[in-house]
Amino acid sequence: MDREQALGFVRERVKNENLISHMVAAEAIMGALARRLGGGEEKWRLAGLLHDLDVEETAESMEMHGVLTVRWLREAGFDDEEVLQAILAHNPGNGSRVTSVMERALFACDCLTGLVTAAALIRPEKKLAPVELKSLKKRFREPSFAKGARREDIMTCSDLGLELEEFLGIGLEAMKEVAGELGL
């Protein structure tokens, strides 16, 4: 499955545009992390793009979140077990455990997209371009800012050998690269 096919699959299954933007943001961050950590960029990007495919269906039953996505992808003929396992592992609520570097990256970047998006949306122009790493770090330390962006999950970037500042910078710059697609 290439990016165009994956995005088509996302648009077929996901109706909420904000959720699609989150998935595109995760795709961008995963690509940047693959480059930084020596992962297979295409696979990592697919994991980011597809990871929340079923969230509209499983919002009330998180034990199924990821499981349904994997089922749908297998039914569509997608069989990359590394990507499928990363999708499962990003949600510990389904009983999966994070074990590989790609899985750790997806788990850590999942909440980072919300923090970066919120940092853009509080600006008067509501754009990513003027957001600086310094202000993102400051916002990270404010527990009342972007409450849904679980800081403890983001901080698992240390399991990747990345300091928080570097991880935040990677995420911010990756999302800036796709700001047009994100509407930011």
**pLDDT tens digits, residue range 11-37?**
999 999 999 999 999 999 999 999 999
Confidence of residue 94 (pLDDT cuts 50, 70, 90): very high
SS3 string of 23-60?
HHHHHHHHHHHHHHHCCCHHHHHHHHHHCCCCHHHHCC
**pLDDT tens digits, residue range 161-181?**
999 999 999 999 999 999 999
User: Do the beta carbons of residue 160 and residue 30 sit within 8 Å?
Assistant: no
Span 44-68, average pLDDT: 96
Give the architecture (CATH level 2) of 3-179. Answer: Orthogonal Bundle (1.10)
Kindly list the domain boundaries of the chain, sorted by start residue.
Answer: 3-179
